[in-house]
Amino acid sequence: MNYSKQRETMMRILRGSKTHPTAQEIYAEMRKNDPKISLGTVYRNLAQLTEKGSVVRIDTKHECVHYDGCTDPHYHFICDSCGKVYDLDIEPIDMDKRVEEDFDCKVSGHSLIFYGICSSCRNSSN
Amino acid sequence: MNYSKQRETMMRILRGSKTHPTAQEIYAEMRKNDPKISLGTVYRNLAQLTEKGSVVRIDTKHECVHYDGCTDPHYHFICDSCGKVYDLDIEPIDMDKRVEEDFDCKVSGHSLIFYGICSSCRNSSN
DNA sequence: GTATCTGCAAATCATTTGCATTCTG
DNA sequence: CAGAATGCAAATGATTTGCAGATAC
């Protein structure tokens, strides 16, 4: 993988953000400084970075995919009202081995997402 | 919600299947006996049944959404090679309350999916 | 110089929706 | 009959892709 200014910018945005942006949000953010940037490039780079393990895809029951620049194992809470993705500070569950044994498969990882209403939405009856 | 033959058929297919079909697969199955059935109807009914809690959406990192006619709480293993969705027989984790307290939110549920390679794919080097 | 990236625009593909018609209660 | 459900076809919207030019090493 060669260096590219666009990809570096994307990593900077993802690492510096707690909002777990979507591809379109990253695109919008990048356009502020580089109006020429293409959505195709954003998607291509996100796929590469995910493959490489530098960012994490967050697949939800809502419309589109979110990306997380923090690769330390952690889980998310997603608000069904506003759609925001929040980080949770709970220790990782230790079941991968158990699943492998019980189910005779090779587990590479797991995804755990909590859904509900965040305190902000609850208080403002959104 | 009124009775409809199409929706009844969908429920029968979902309850009688362990394959966690996608909307398109349910559509294909239904077409065998009713060539007039419309994809729109399938999607509309899936949305209603999910809302009502009669079926469960399974959102994955793969292309499309799978549906589960079994609503007993359980988790899934999804093969990154063949894409099949398997049921796991492990007891539900008990963290919803904990998340609510730690994070001051209302948790309605959670989704836990294990990813990896199933034994079938591992053995046939797919 | 060659492989890797990029912008652009067109293509994909799952899912949604408007509308006129048909069915359920 | 009134509201709900359907088929059909067109629309949507996120994501992907082909291609020719630009960039990295």
Domain ranges across chain B: 1-70, 72-126
Q: How far apart are the first and last CA of chain B?
A: 44
| Residue A24 CB in 7 A reach of strand C | no
**Distance in Å, alpha carbon of A118 to nearest chain B alpha carbon:** 5
**Of the candidates B53, B45, B97, B44, the residue with the CA atom closest to the CA atom of residue B72:** B53
Question: What percentage of chain A has pLDDT greater than the value 90?
Answer: 94
Q: Which of residues 15-74 of B touch A (CB under 8 A)?
A: 57, 59-61
For B30 and D14, how far is CA from C1' in angstroms? 28
pLDDT, tens digit, 9 for 90 and up, residues B73-89? 999 999 999 999 999 99
Q: What pLDDT was estimated at residue B126?
A: 46
CA distance A56 to A70: 7
Phi/psi region, residue A121 (left: phi>0; alpha: psi -120 to 50; beta: rest), is alpha
| Residue A5 CB in 7 A reach of strand C | yes
CATH architecture, domain B1-70: Orthogonal Bundle (1.10)
Q: How many CB pairs under 8 A join A and B?
A: 106
When pLDDT is cut at 50, 70 and 90, the band that residue A26 belongs to is very high
Contact B93 A96 (CB under 8 A): no
pLDDT, tens digit, 9 for 90 and up, residues B116-126? 999 999 988 64
Contact B108 A89 (CB under 8 A): no
- pTM recorded for the entire structure: 0.92
Mean pLDDT value across chain B: 94
Angle of CA points B70, B112, A55, to nearest 5°:
140
Contact B88 A103 (CB under 8 A): yes
User: Does the structure show a pLDDT above 70 at B43?
Assistant: yes
Q: What residues in A contact B83, CB-CB < 8 Å?
A: none
CATH architecture, domain A72-126: 2-Layer Sandwich (3.30)
Quickly count: other Cβ atoms within 10 Å of residue B51's Cβ. Answer: 10
